[in-house]
Amino acid sequence: KTATREFSKENELGKGAFGAVYKAVLADGSVVAVKRLFPTEQNVADFLKEVVLITGIKHRHLVQLKGCCVRDKQRMLVYEYAENKNLAEALWGKERSFDLTWTQRLNICVGIARGLSYLHEELQPKIIHRDIKPQNILLDKDLNAKIADFGLARPVVEDATQMATHVGGTLGYFSPEYATLGMFTEKLDVYSYGVLVLEIVSGKRCINLKSPVEDEIYLRTWAFRLCRENKLLDLAAKGLPTESKGDEILAVLKTALSCLQEDPSKRPTMSQVVNMLTGNSEFTI
């Protein structure tokens, strides 16, 4: 039970067209995040989908749904609370109080990969998230990555390629086959993950609202050049460590580029990505 007074501006964690997310304290003293949806027909339908899809799913790198609440037309989702906000805030938020170190960035990349690998390879039916981007990755108090926002997620039926009736998500993170044809398999998430990793390593956003596509290509070219020329000057200029960790950074960039291949069947699976990042992989681009 949450008191109405807790849904105030000062407890607001995030806000969107759907409603808002608030920090709240339950009767037992535990802190949670409550997503309160505007009572539109679409939201009521999406609410049910999200609840059905992720109820009972528990994983270190997925934000946990602890419960839900229906009161008249109000729909609320109660999640575990992530203390360090979302990854967009941590990477380039104006109010951020610290810059992520290289080790923290690498751990976040590995954590997201583990979460996605669980969704794609361990669950039955497997789940495609479809909206992987920094705003939907939360960070807990120890900076563990937690994948959030299952509003666009879909279960996979018999391993078939699915067609979206409405191509939802965020343009800069779309794979070519999703952007042009609306086709999606779990390789859509692998592609979005590749874009996300380039953002995590470079600290640059791939999305400039004026020309999203150009910026993703820019970031990719930047990573290609670094990998080809073994040049880490750009990173050094940004204050990232390059002497002792140079090889590690290049390995992560190469992994991201393998995720960004045009042909979805050539992209690695997320468990291959985990292996590539943690250094026990045979996979090459």
- Cα(69)–Cα(77) distance, integer angstroms: 6
Nearest of 198, 209, 285 to residue 249 by alpha carbon: 198
Total of residues contacting ligand ADP (CB under 6 A): 20
Nearby residues of 28 by Cβ (< 8 Å), 6 or more positions away: none
Choose the stretch contacting ligand ADP; rule: CB under 6 A; options: 144-152, 165-173, 195-203, 272-280: 144-152
**Using omega within 30 degrees of 0 as the cis cutoff, is the peptide bond preceding 212 cis?**
no
Choose the stretch contacting Mg ion; rule: CB under 5 A; options: 61-69, 145-153, 229-237, 256-264: 145-153
Q: Which is nearer to Mg ion, 152 or 198 (CB)?
A: 152
Phi, psi dihedrals of residue 68, rounded to the nearest 5° = -145, 165
By annotation, the residues acting in catalysis are 131
Pick from 115, 151, 194, 264: which binds Mg ion (CB under 5 A)?
151
Residues in the chain: 285
Choose the stretch contacting Mg ion; rule: CB under 5 A; options: 30-38, 83-91, 128-136, 232-240: 128-136
Choose the stretch contacting ligand ADP; rule: CB under 6 A; options: 90-98, 106-114, 145-153, 259-267: 145-153
Residue pair 54/100 in contact (Cβ under 8 Å)? The answer is no
* Contact string 50-79 vs ligand ADP (x = CB under 6 A): -------------x---------------x
Q: Which is nearer to Mg ion, 14 or 264 (CB)?
A: 14
- Cα(12)–Cα(35) distance, integer angstroms: 10
Residue 13 binds to ligand ADP (criterion: CB under 6 A):
yes
72: tokens are: 């008249």
Phi, psi dihedrals of residue 44, rounded to the nearest 5° = -65, -40
Shortest distance in whole angstroms from residue 113 CB to ligand ADP = 20
Residue pair 217/176 in contact (Cβ under 8 Å)? The answer is no
Residue 136 binds to Mg ion (criterion: CB under 5 A):
yes
Sole residue written with tokens 């609370």: 81
Shortest distance in whole angstroms from residue 106 CB to ligand ADP = 22
Query: 244 exposed, middle or buried (CB, 10 Å; 0-12, 13-18, 19+)?
Result: exposed
Distance of CA 77 to the CA centre of its chain: 19
Q: What is the signed CA dihedral for 242, 245, 251, 253, rounded to 10 degrees?
A: -40
Sole residue written with tokens 């409550």: 34
Shortest distance in whole angstroms from residue 43 CB to ligand ADP = 10
Using CB under 6 A as the binding rule, the residues of this chain from 25 to 44 that contact ligand ADP are 33, 35
Residue 22 binds to ligand ADP (criterion: CB under 6 A):
no
Residue 269 binds to ligand ADP (criterion: CB under 6 A):
no
Give which of ligand ADP, Mg ion, none residue 184 binds (C-beta under 5 to 8 Å, depending on kind).
none
The binding site for ligand ADP (CB under 6 A) comprises: 13-14, 16, 18, 21, 33, 35, 63, 79-82, 85-86, 135-136, 138, 148-149, 151
Task: Give the footprint of Mg ion on this chain (CB under 5 A).
Answer: 136, 149, 151
